[in-house]
Amino acid sequence: MRIFWEKGYEGASLDDLTHAMGINKPSLYRSFGNKQHLFQLVLRHYETQNLGFFRKALRHATAKAVVVDILSGYLRLATNHATPGGCLGINAAVACSLDAEPVRTLLLERRLVYLEKLKGRLAQAKAEGDLATHIDPSSFANLIMMLIAGSALQAKAGIAPAVLAQAINLAVDSIF
C-alpha cells in the first residue's frame, strides 16, 4: 500500500512492489494475478483502514458537522507524517496514462461511491431544513470532493497542514 501511495499506480514498479513485500515477481503473479489486481486489493484495504471516518461523519446530526468531519478527516489523512502524504486514490490517479485506464476507471468508480453517499446525506439535510435552500446538494457534494482532492494534492506537495486547515475553514465558514 505504501509503495502505491508514495509513487502512484504507474510509478510503482514491480521491483518496488516485490521488494516491499519481500517476494519475487513469480510469487506476486501467483498470489495476485497482476499489478492491477494487487492495486484493487490495496485500494480496498486502504478504504477499510483509512476512510472509516467518512462513514461515521455521515451520521452527524447537522450538515455542517458532516462536512467539517469529512474535510478534517481527509486533511488528517493527507498530512499524517506516518503516511506518504496526500491520498492514495489521488496519488494513483494523477499520473495514469491510457495504459492504466482500468485503474483510473476503478478510482473514479470509488470516488463516485463516496460522492453519492455525500450527496444523499446533503439532500437529507436540505429536506430537513438543515441546509440553505439555495444550496444544491449535488453541487455542494462535488465542491467537497474538489476540496478533498485539492487538499490532498497540496499536502503531497508539502503545503503545511495549518495552511490547508485555514483554507478548509474558510470554505466551511463561507457556506455555513
Can you give the pTM of this predicted structure?
0.92
In a domain, 167, yes or no: yes
Long-range pairs for 61-64: beta carbons < 8 A, 24 or more residues apart? 62/125, 62/130, 63/121, 63/122, 63/125, 63/126, 63/130, 63/131, 63/176, 64/172, 64/176
In a domain, 76, yes or no: yes
CATH number of the CATH domain containing 168 = 1.10.357.10
Our count of domains for the chain comes to 1
In a domain, 18, yes or no: no
Give pLDDT, residue 141. 98
The pLDDT confidence band at residue 138, using thresholds 50, 70 and 90, is very high
Give pLDDT, residue 93. 85
Mean per-residue pLDDT, 53-60:
98
